[in-house]
Structure 1
């Protein structure tokens, strides 16, 4: 089947903060960029949502970043992996670390992406969908691009984490930390200071994510509000705050 992927990175499309030096120079110092999958504590739960065997599968990685996941897929038997990202910085890093012809990296804006019908066995995305205004259209494209019984697996910032109009814990009089969720049902733009000012993200409720999948012909198979294990907390005590509010939501679905 001929492969077709189109998409641009126009001024009206996604915010591309990863190609700004001030942001990228700090971003690549994160553990999950220095250590790869070993620096992503939610990865074991996310991996469990994928097929038991990746042998001979055709896979699509949306918002592939530096290619950690794409390389894992190729190293574990995937016949072909296409990684798509809007950032030249990310794709340059991914290509520099790519040692196999099984991976193809492409630049495109997920806000405007068009995919070939029935091409993929698995579509994967890690921490990208919560940036997108046009996520409903992308989920429809993903459904169209998957083969029957194909699988969609993705992670996002949890709506409880992203929902507040201003992020950050508040310490109350008795010393406890709370997470002030002040506008959960008001979906839409959230502006965050993350390495730089003005990072744009899109808040949606749990119900909206579920209905996007159901309305696009998916059956929900996994829904994990990630929480660290005791071993995770021993290695990284900062993860203790996950017991107050979750950072990550991990979702698996199958095309009906």
Structure 2
């Protein structure tokens, strides 16, 4: 049985390997997903923002630099909480150490809720979406990214070593638990189709304003070869939603 939720990040070897991989300049999160998410995000100047699955807090630093008046990070990993506290400091910042499913949201407290690459690790996503909705002010924005469903459908491709040149999409409409080998550990993910994400958002009460699959942009790539490879399959799925 693989690690569930944030537990893998409290394994020291996995934690260090993940940070090195995640924070490298050519990380797809940095050059494909992040630019699109920032494009979708409302201006944060003077806004109260909560970041579900804040990790090491570096994205929180970006939001503070962009003018957020208050930043709250919610994180289940003890190691990540310590990193986030070190990176963000204490000025108008709170880091809450709890699994996202157990987060005690305060009603109508936040202007913006953001989450990056977390929800495919969560089984009870309807519960989380309801908490997000309750935590937001009227007219607030909810923006999140997940691993694209064509990748979570089958883990056969993930088991291959080295740079992938082909990907298997299988069992797409069979949603549910998947076990992925990653960084010499096994982690539990939950596959959902694009339609299922959309329906869960609507059922929580949100209006979907935008959807993106993060087509790669040449200006962010150092090498043509890597740019061409990233054109082959989507890695990310993003939704921008509104509480109306």
Matching of residue 182 in structure 1 with residue 173 in structure 2: no
Q: Mapping of 1:55-204 within 5 angstroms?
A: 55-168=45-158, 177-204=165-192
Query: Structure 1 residues 91, 122: CA separation in 2 closer, same or farther (over 3 Å shift)?
Result: same
TM-score scaled by length of structure 1: 0.85
1:211 maps to: 199
Q: Mapping of 1:1-80 within 5 angstroms?
A: 14-30=5-21, 32-34=22-24, 40-41=30-31, 42-51=33-42, 53-80=43-70
TM-score scaled by length of structure 2: 0.89
CA distance in 2, matches of 1:126, 1:143: 17
Contact 1:127 1:155 in 2 (8 A): yes
CA distance in 2, matches of 1:194, 1:169: 8
Structure 2: which 5+ runs fail to align? Answer: none
2:243 maps to: 255
Q: Secondary structure at the match of 2:187?
A: strand
CA distance in 2, matches of 1:157, 1:78: 26
Matching of residue 232 in structure 1 with residue 220 in structure 2: yes
Cα deviation for residue 104 of structure 1 reads 1.1
Q: Secondary structure at the match of 1:151?
A: strand
CA distance in 1, matches of 2:117, 2:28: 16
Q: Secondary structure at the match of 2:23?
A: helix
CA distance in 2, matches of 1:37, 1:17: 20
Cα deviation for residue 159 of structure 1 reads 0.3
Contact 1:130 1:157 in 2 (8 A): yes
Contact 2:52 2:73 in 1 (8 A): yes
Q: Secondary structure at the match of 1:201?
A: strand
Cα deviation for residue 169 of structure 1 reads 9.2
Structure showing the higher helix proportion among its residues:
2
Cα deviation for residue 34 of structure 1 reads 4.8
- The aligned length equals 238
Contact 2:201 2:207 in 1 (8 A): yes
CA distance in 1, matches of 2:188, 2:179: 5
Query: Structure 1 residues 19, 169: CA separation in 2 closer, same or farther (over 3 Å shift)?
Result: closer
